[in-house]
Structures are given as C-alpha cells and as structure tokens.
Structure 1
Amino acid sequence: METLQAIHTRRSIRKYAADKVERETIIEVLKAAMAAPSAGNQQPWRFVVIESRETLDRIPSIHPYAGMVPSASCAIMVCGDTSAEKYPGNWMLDCAAAVQNMLLALHDKGLGAVWCGLWPDAARVDSFRALAGLPEHIVPLALVPVGIPDQKTGAHDRFDESKIHWERW
C-alpha cells in the first residue's frame, strides 16, 4: 500500500471478526511504532500488549468508549516513560506519533484498530495503570484495540482549505 493511500483510507475500526492476529504481526506493527520520530530521539514509548480475554472483557467497565475491546484480538496500551525524557513534557507527543505509525501499519496489514484515549483523563490513567500494574513513571496515553475488520469503510476527503493560512493568520 502506498503511503498516501494508507493515510487517506485508514479509518477507526470498532467491529472485529473472531480471528486472532498473530503475535509476529503485532511485533512488526510495534517496530513501525518505534520508528516514529521523538524529541531528541528520546523514544519514551513503552507498550503493553493485552491478549488475555479476561482482561479485554474488563476494559469497557473502566473506559466508557471502549465497548469494542472484548471483540478485539488484542489491545495495545501505548505508554510514556517520564523517567526516559530528555525533554520533559514531550513524551505525549512522541507517543502520539508512535500511535499514528501503529495505526497506519495495522491498516497496511489489513487489520483494524481505533485510538482510545486514556491520558489526560486521570480516572482512566489510574484505572489502566492498575489494570496493567504500571509503575508511577509510566503513563498510559492510549489503548489501541486490534483485530480483523468486520465493517466496511471507505476513503473520506477531509481536506478543508479554510483551515489553511499562508504566511500569517
């Protein structure tokens, strides 16, 4: 898949078929996530791959917009390690870039995913920190359920020239 095609056709997928996504595919996608740019090449991202059906089934009770997670093959929690920051305050930007790379890589592999925000909602951060046993310096930013898409999508043109300013506002 060409890069621009991937960008323009990727969609948030919330319905998944029952098939399992292979671990080697998840590792390949995590390699893409770790290829993201980061401030000073600090790479503060950390990942928790959740495959346990019991844990996946619990997630909607702690995240109001994660009702699709129990049908996913797995979910990847993207976290920032604040102790690894060279430039404090940039971990969330770096991790967001990793999430976008991951979403595009998943789409390229024919898989579906959706970005479920955790940070900065304190209750979600605390709940997911407890769910995964995260130490205090690891902050959960996002949860990305992954699966075989079981819904139709298509490209949408989101270009809006009125949001562009040349040289000055």
Structure 2
Amino acid sequence: MDLLFKRRSIRSYQNRLVEDEKITELLKAGMAAPSALNKRPWHFVVIKERNTLDKITEIHPYSNMLKEAPLAIAVCGKKEEPYWVQDCAAAMQNILLAATANGLGSVWLGVYPREERADTIKKLLGIDNEYLPLGLCAIGYPNEEKQEKDIYESDKITILE
C-alpha cells in the first residue's frame, strides 16, 4: 500500500540518465499487467533521443516536462483488440508504480482518445498502423518531492448490502 500512496505525478527531473536496467524493469512491470483474454495488445516505444522528446513538447500541450525528462515510454495498443485501452491503461499504471519503486519520478501524459494528438505522436514515433498510442510516461530522477496525499472520498462510494 505504501507504494500506491507514494506514487505522485512528477514534472521536474534531474539532469541524469535512467539506467538501462531500470528501463527494463519498467517494461517488465508494464508487461506484467492484467490483460483481457491474455491478448497483451501492447507495444512500448522507449524514447531516449533528446530531439524526439523536444519535438513531443511541440505536439502535446501538456508535455513541457519532457524538456527535462531524459526518458519517455509510449504505451501503444493494437486497436483491433476490443480491450486495448483497458489493458494498456493497466500497463501504464504498472510502469508508473515501478518507476516509484525504482526511485524514479513519472507522470502520465494522455494521448488517446485525442485523434489529432494520437496521429501526430504516432507519425513522430514511427508507430505501426495497427497500433495507437494510449499515452506517454515521462520518466526520470525527480527534481521535486511531493508528500503523500489522502484523497479518499467516502461520498464517492455506494455500498449495496
């Protein structure tokens, strides 16, 4: 439970590369996500290239943190699979949690269902036509610290007994 509450959206990063071993751990975590009928419709694009990270900031209106982040992972899904969005969202959450567990900061940048944003990101990253990018995860060593928050809201719960 501690890991769940410790994970926060981090938007400021140190000028420090993320080790390949940690990137592999993040990808393993993503692929460990539950998947409807075990279809695993995901594909991950690891973006370390500074020029590409900077270009994303020109496309995605909420991606300025990529000017500092040394890494992003695009989580993409095979659009023909009916539950690709749910499966890829679970994979993205696993990556975010694994980042926290590895001493990294991260934030989820939504791409899908914004068609224009998805199409532009897809072209920039050279993603195969059968896939759509669900989102991007900016990742790096955090340059900010956020405290855990209790955001439990009992008024958003209905109990049927």
TM norm structure 1: 0.93
Q: Which residue of 2 aligns with 1:114?
A: 107
Q: Which residue of 1 aligns with 2:125?
A: 132
TM norm structure 2: 0.97
Q: Distance between the aligned counterparts of 2:6 and 2:72, measured in 1?
A: 22
The structural deviation recorded for 1:111 is: 0.1
CA shift digits 1:122-169 (9 cap, x unpaired)? 11101111101112211000000110000011110010111110117x
Q: Which runs of 5+ in 1 are unaligned?
A: none
Residue 105, structure 1, aligned to residue 102, structure 2: no
CA shift digits 1:8-62 (9 cap, x unpaired)? 1110000000010011110111101100001001111110001111111111100
Q: Distance between the aligned counterparts of 2:6 and 2:155, measured in 1?
A: 22
Which of 62, 72, 76 lines up with 1:65 in the alignment? 62
Q: Distance between the aligned counterparts of 2:105 and 2:32, measured in 1?
A: 20
Q: Distance between the aligned counterparts of 2:51 and 2:79, measured in 1?
A: 29
Amino acid at match of 1:91: W
Residue 56, structure 1, aligned to residue 56, structure 2: no
CA shift digits 1:88-131 (9 cap, x unpaired)? 2x100000000001100000011001000000001110111110
Q: Which residue of 2 aligns with 1:93?
A: 86
Q: Which residue of 2 aligns with 1:37?
A: 34
Percent identity (aligned): 47
Residue 18, structure 1, aligned to residue 18, structure 2: no
Q: Distance between the aligned counterparts of 1:13 and 1:61, measured in 2?
A: 20
Greater Cα shift, 90-99 or 126-135: 126-135
Q: Which residue of 2 aligns with 1:157?
A: 150
Q: Which residue of 2 aligns with 1:27?
A: 24
Give the paired residue count.
161
Q: Which runs of 5+ in 2 are unaligned?
A: none
Q: Distance between the aligned counterparts of 1:130 and 1:55, measured in 2?
A: 12
Secondary structure of the corresponding residue to residue 64 of structure 2 = coil
The structural deviation recorded for 1:81 is: 1.4
Q: Please give the root-mean-square deviation of Cα atoms over the aligned residues, in Å.
A: 1.0
